[in-house]
Structure 1
């Protein structure tokens, strides 16, 4: 670069810092769009098998929604205090120490974000196969002994790579895709709910479903098995694994705080608006399911695709195509939000010397291109492994622990750093944050006791981050 050329100097300066180009609507669409994928059309089947009744199906979604909203409005205080790229990684580092922040970032890269990208990508391929059968996971393109590559896996990798490329072109391109697709899928989801109530809802189905009331029992679609006095806690916790993942990723907007206009106002407000929209939509969608489908149909839906069965009841034979197109749009937009925001965490870690140093760079478009591509590479590996679904189940415990620690961080920072400016303070403090901490802790402990297969592997993944932390720390020194 010629140091005497002011144009080149300005270009270099602009590419070394994030550009604040996202408004409130963009931020809200990132919250909602990252949350809404395919889960709302699938996980109600497993929840119904675990709880057995209409009442508890809605209670599980209601508890999930209230916990998500409580966490979101609590995060508003932290986002206003630290309005820069990295989000939850920054909050944990500032509230506790760099190791705690790194363990979150490590888990985030290893499984949480990349595993979500892979899972949503393969979901996109599976639903695309309804329209284009050659994209099916049954279409094996490469078979080398134990290693197989299906058309669905290849399609998911191509989609993730395409969205990664789009996001390397600048935040404007990524935000346009995110805002447009999220608005489309919110409108379409509300349309599905309205059509469900007006075209396919039946009073006799609703009344038959509610004969189960708020009973809690294991249900396989035909027979029921009551739980013992203690096992019901494990059933509730297991039921919430799916609903929590379907409602997760709301915190993605905090990772791109460095690119949001008026972050001290817009991040907290977008967290509240985005989670409120999705929580209300998810709850109404399940009310619609109970109006259109029997509990037996919900519990025994083929491949758990409750949304597909409901759409067939609403629209007839064309219902499969309707929901397939909707889910293609939904998963495409969801993955874009995950890809756009996730790379900012690795960028922030690298700036602290706790990730590959090449990742701590922005390209000429002001985005962390190398962070985006390394995220793309690992998500693609997980697509090929076929283990992303199991990995996501494993880390739900770790995800909850990090959420709990982050909200505890609000209390800790109030004591240890009272001098920090707080343009926004956590709504309902200290009551609502305490309610979240207690509720999420009960769910976590129940999972630890009753579903160790969900928790122990996740803990191992997190703990593997300890030697990795000291390895990066040694290289930094």
Structure 2
């Protein structure tokens, strides 16, 4: 693999993979779960704190093992190949591919503002209860196009990422600034009445309290699901470690800079929402499109056009980063004999082209099922579990390999990593108790990796 990614490229890969369409949408669902302005911001701050803490912890692991595959490698070194395989399988089955599918269809949905013929509510053909929309086919086309660009070498994918991530970060900053400039004191003051009363709020604005303290915590955990998924994919830069210049330094630094940038943007844009929209309108935004509602207040009817263009840019760049990074994990698994043998091969451009194409095939299949959104909700639990396990790995490796070179040590060790572990476990336990629909299906998908691992191991000599 060619080391063609510098610190700026790596930082933009972190930020670009995180910023999709979620930040313009999920605040509506969060507000319905927590019910007030203070808790809306608290959820975003808490999600950002967790992400920053995890990123600072991953810096130590990235310095120890600057290899393609990133988190897969860390889990293998700290625990065993089984846990690493289950992570890689979950990534291929739904985490990475499901996100690629969901972001691709989101791109199509917002393109339909300009080209109505690609709307997701149109049906091209139907077979029983299964139907295919133009949006799904366009999403598949987008996935294949970006996959092709990335098979031509990491340099092409890098430029797409740099251009689109820079553009969307600048656009979001401009939108935030415009929102602050039309500050409406009456809206802001209204939103901060009973700002710390955590309660349910329906689309019509009706409030209902949580019946007990445990239910209160369950509501907070449910509200955090959307925020955590919006912060998701920050770890993708670790997957491309073999293509980053000076990886022992630049991966950890890019994790810090990228996650800090996105946290600041996410908190600022939610402050802007509270400047221009009453809390009832945030919770009841049509199709949860809070970004469009805010843009229309700021810019009138042209706001819909602006936010649609921003989301098109955002989702295009986001998907490029996800596609570029994910294939490197399957490449590393194949080198260990745990994936298709051909996946371990690089093409003439020094990239794992076969891994890129099978990832595209799986993501396209999820596009056609129409269940990508449900799968992403279900997998939130599993994503956090793997983050927790990986950070536990820091403590394990400090004991197992105390003399291993560590050019970068986890900031705040042992306190900050332990705090993330406690927060992650608490989040998962609350979801198990109060939102089982978010947990057991995702857990089942990941658990399928256990028998699959032993099946693959038996077949390993034939690979």
- Give TM-score scaled by structure 1 length: 0.96
Question: 1:167-203, CA deviations, whole angstroms, 9 ceiling, x for partnerless residues?
Answer: 000000000000111000000000000001113x200
What is the Cα deviation at residue 141 of structure 1? 1.3
- Residue 9 of structure 2 corresponds to which residue in structure 1? 26
Counterpart mapping for 1:164-183 below 5 A: 164-183=147-166
Structure 1 stretches lacking a partner, 5+ long: 1-17
What is the Cα deviation at residue 462 of structure 1? 1.1
What is the Cα deviation at residue 230 of structure 1? 1.6
What is the Cα deviation at residue 145 of structure 1? 2.2
Q: Could you tell me how far apart the structure 1 residues matched to 2:214 and 2:122 are?
A: 45
* 2:108–2:138 CA contact under 8 A, matched in 1: yes
Q: Could you tell me how far apart the structure 1 residues matched to 2:317 and 2:413 are?
A: 34
- Residue 66 of structure 1 corresponds to which residue in structure 2? 49
Q: Could you tell me how far apart the structure 1 residues matched to 2:128 and 2:197 are?
A: 48
Q: Could you tell me how far apart the structure 1 residues matched to 2:214 and 2:9 are?
A: 45
Counterpart mapping for 1:113-262 below 5 A: 113-199=96-182, 201-220=183-202, 221-228=204-211, 229-262=213-246
What is the Cα deviation at residue 458 of structure 1? 1.0
Question: 1:256-291, CA deviations, whole angstroms, 9 ceiling, x for partnerless residues?
Answer: 000000000000000000000000000000000000
Q: Could you tell me how far apart the structure 2 residues matched to 1:214 and 1:296 are?
A: 15
- Residue 14 of structure 1 corresponds to which residue in structure 2? none
Report SS of the residue matched to 2:189. helix
Q: Could you tell me how far apart the structure 1 residues matched to 2:422 and 2:124 are?
A: 49
Report SS of the residue matched to 1:143. strand
What is the Cα deviation at residue 139 of structure 1? 2.1
Q: Could you tell me how far apart the structure 2 residues matched to 1:222 and 1:374 are?
A: 45
Question: 1:206-245, CA deviations, whole angstroms, 9 ceiling, x for partnerless residues?
Answer: 0000002211110114211010222011101110110000
* 2:205–2:284 CA contact under 8 A, matched in 1: no
How many residues matched? 459
Q: Could you tell me how far apart the structure 1 residues matched to 2:226 and 2:292 are?
A: 18
Q: Are 1:110 and 2:124 counterparts?
A: no
Q: Could you tell me how far apart the structure 1 residues matched to 2:320 and 2:205 are?
A: 40
Report SS of the residue matched to 1:251. helix
Counterpart mapping for 1:78-477 below 5 A: 78-199=61-182, 201-220=183-202, 221-228=204-211, 229-477=213-461
Q: Could you tell me how far apart the structure 2 residues matched to 1:45 and 1:147 are?
A: 29
What is the Cα deviation at residue 147 of structure 1? 2.3
What is the Cα deviation at residue 123 of structure 1? 0.3
Q: Could you tell me how far apart the structure 2 residues matched to 1:329 and 1:212 are?
A: 37
What is the Cα deviation at residue 472 of structure 1? 1.0
Q: Could you tell me how far apart the structure 2 residues matched to 1:381 and 1:24 are?
A: 34
What is the Cα deviation at residue 149 of structure 1? 1.1
Structure 2 stretches lacking a partner, 5+ long: none
- Give TM-score scaled by structure 2 length: 0.98
What is the Cα deviation at residue 146 of structure 1? 2.1
What is the Cα deviation at residue 143 of structure 1? 1.8
Q: Could you tell me how far apart the structure 2 residues matched to 1:176 and 1:27 are?
A: 12
- Of 321-330 and 144-153, the range deviating more from structure 2: 144-153
Report SS of the residue matched to 2:296. helix
Over the residues paired in the alignment, what is the CA RMSD in angstroms? 0.7
Q: Could you tell me how far apart the structure 2 residues matched to 1:88 and 1:448 are?
A: 25
